[in-house]
Chains A and B, each alone.
Chain A
Amino acid sequence: MRTAFIESLCEAAAGDPNIWLLTGDLGYSVLEVFSQRFPDRYVNVGVAEQNMMGVAAGLAMSGKTVVAYSIVNFVTLRCLEQIRCDICYHGASVKIVGVGGGYAYGALGHTHHGIEDLSVLGSMPGVDVVAPADPIETRLAVQTLLQRKGPAYLRLGKAGEPKVHQNSPAFGVGSIVPVREGRDVLFITTGGLLEEALRASQQLVAAGLDPAVWSNPWLRPFDVARVTAAAKDFAVIVTAEEGVITGGLGARVAQIISGMEGSRARHIGVGVPPEVGPSALSQKAARARFGLDANALAAQALAAMKRS
């Protein structure tokens, strides 16, 4: 995802001299292609994320479109008030990019578990919040966000994620990306869990079910219409997010379903509880532990289908 990010950023910057890139002293072996090509529009602000966000806002308030890059927690939680007051309140075109979303850096310990970002950023006023599933969605997200005015948060994984999409899908602002058609159980994922849901769906097919799989990169704006329709069409909706269950994808889907009248889907919201977890935890182990890997998702969907 990081490679897709920097490639598409460079393409955009070649056509738009107002695009700047700031980093909080991270991005080794990723950002060099930008800094070498556009040295006048690249600043490593140092390990100072609060200042980075203020500088980014000041640049944006002077007509620039600014990408601010670091590891998820450093570029969101560390400088949250700067995001709220300096970026959001001014409607500044600062595109915050966090790498290491979820447990991508899980083995590095608690400080590097990027699990509250989507929930917290989703509470900030007027921010686009996007967590692409793979390098193809990443590229589309970068292109789309750079063309939109105002603040955005882009949550990336790390490097080397597989392409899940075969081709470039339709990627409208705030739109869910359907990946697999189906009739009885629907998986909606955000970020890199799409591949787990696709593998879970294969297990369900083997069990005689007809599952659908949707990728939901846009936490904000959110595809209320499609989720509302799905709640009428499917018996079970399983949401999966590599982040806390308080305030993310599942909470949003539950809010929509709970406001509907009449018969509607049963919702299973899978995610991480907002508790102190184990320290070193690889992404694979984390997904297994929190019920987010393919086996666990398939099992939860099957159990829910039996109960429904």
Chain B
Amino acid sequence: MSTERPNSAVASGQPLTSASEQSTREFARRLRVHVLRMTHRARASHVGTCLSIADVLAVLYGAVARVDPTNPDWHGRDRVIMSKGHGAAALYAALVVRGFFPEEWLDRYCQDGALPGHVTHRGVPGVDASTGSLGHGLSLGCGMALAAQSERLDRRTFVILSDGELDEGSIWEALMFAAHHRLGRLFAVIDYNKIQSFGRVEEVLALEPLAAKLRAFGWNVVEVDGHDHAALSRALTQLPQAAPTVLIAHTVKGKGVSFMEDRLEWHYRSPSDEQLAAGLLELGAVV
């Protein structure tokens, strides 16, 4: 395990300037283009969930998280756990845009022996934890944050959750644990796109009043527009507090591709040739 300091490529961890916001917006645009191409090529599902979290990942990997693509196992790096592991395409794309591995790897998404449809760390630089079954990532993050706290390291742990994932009881076990142990450098981000696997969140299993529940569990709660880069950056770079922080990121499933936005079906469908072309056009990519 490397303990070297990061090189200059490490993100600053500071709030966004207008120039850097421009760059995270470009990061998110490229990420979305990758996601469309990957899910189209692989005929894979979960494109909607990848698009809804694209801006969070762009801000995290483009500006906030102290990680080093040239030294992915650096002990002092911030940890990022994609607990909603079905957003794998978005995470892999973010790691490519950040420079962890070559873009060509994305061409073989979901192919035999290549990047799988849920997040794996095995053979993939920059992935801190494998996920795919919901309700696991926050506990992993608690363990990592507890280890950092015990070593008095200033590294942060970011855990990205889906809204449907909050149905899992293990999440609430972990929420209690993090608050009890005052894991102030632990950040959870809830991708609150209001649609879960088989219906609207409020119809399947109501989460509201979500912010009040999370506050009652002892967390510092920040509600943000999950597509507003400046707001995301401000919330994710706030000084550590005694309590862990959760961002309720209000998002739109399928964000960025008009005909996919807020539609349950894009949890499952993969874009056809025509839909890919239309989506890439909206994203300003060369078809």
Contacts and interface: CB of A to CB of B under 8 A. Distances in A.
Contacts of A58: 129, 139-147
B88 interface: no
Contacts of A64: 147
A199 interface: no
A52 B139 CA distance: 8
Contact of A62 (B122, B137, B144, B176): B144
B146 A59 contact: yes
Given A45-B177, A82-B136, A85-B136, A51 B130 contact: no
B177 A60 contact: no
A81 B177 CA distance: 19
Interface residues of B, number: 33
Nearest to B120: A89
Contact of B143 (A40, A41, A55, A81): A55
B137 to A, nearest CB: 8
A239 B139 CA distance: 39
A57 B83 CA distance: 14
Contact of B136 (A43, A46, A54, A61): A54
Interface residues of A, number: 27
A117 interface: no
Contacts of A116: none
B1 interface: yes
Contact of B135 (A50, A60, A61, A63): A50
Contact of B169 (A45, A50, A57, A90): A50
A59 B141 CA distance: 9
B150 A61 contact: no
A55 B146 CA distance: 8
B101 to A, nearest CB: 19
A79 to B, nearest CB: 9
Contact of A59 (B133, B143, B174): B143
Contacts of B108: none
A64 B140 CA distance: 13
Nearest to B75: A63
Interface in B103-135: 121-122, 128-133, 135
Given A51-B142, A51-B173, A86 B147 contact: no
B142 A46 contact: no
B150 A86 contact: no
B148 interface: yes
Interface string B251-272: 0000000000000000000000
Nearest to A53: B139
Main secondary structure of the interface of B (DSSP, over half): helix
Nearest to B175: A51
Given A43-B146, A64-B147, A57 B173 contact: no
Contacts of A56: 143
Contacts of B150: 40-41
B23 interface: no
Contacts of A82: 136, 139, 170
A86 B139 contact: yes
Interface in B135-163: 135-148, 150
A86 B136 CA distance: 7
B143 A54 contact: yes
Contact of B174 (A41, A54, A61, A85): A54
A259 B148 CA distance: 50
Contacts of A43: 146, 181
A282 B254 CA distance: 58
A48 interface: yes
A58 B147 CA distance: 8
Contacts of B148: 62
A89 B124 CA distance: 14
B177 A86 contact: no
A90 B144 CA distance: 14
Nearest to B171: A51
Given A40-B150, A51-B170, A90-B121, A46 B143 contact: no
A48 B173 contact: yes
Interface in A100-150: none
Contact of B140 (A48, A57, A63, A81): A57
A90 B139 contact: no
Interface in A204-241: none
A64 B75 CA distance: 13
Contacts of A45: 177
B186 to A, nearest CB: 10
A85 B174 CA distance: 16
A258 to B, nearest CB: 33
Given A85-B130, A85-B132, A50 B147 contact: no
B147 A63 contact: yes
A54 B140 CA distance: 5
Contact of B176 (A48, A63, A90): A48
Contacts of A51: 139, 142, 170, 173-174, 177
B176 A81 contact: no
Interface of B: 1, 75, 121-122, 128-133, 135-148, 150, 169-170, 173-174, 176-177, 180-181
19 contacts: A43-B146, A46-B176, A46-B180, A48-B170, A51-B170, A54-B139, A54-B142, A54-B143, A54-B170, A55-B139, A55-B142, A57-B140, A59-B143, A60-B143, A61-B143, A62-B143, A62-B147, A64-B147, A85-B136
10 A-B pairs with the lowest CB-CB distances in the bound complex, closest first: A58-B143, A54-B139, A62-B147, A51-B173, A48-B173, A55-B143, A50-B170, A58-B140, A59-B143, A58-B144
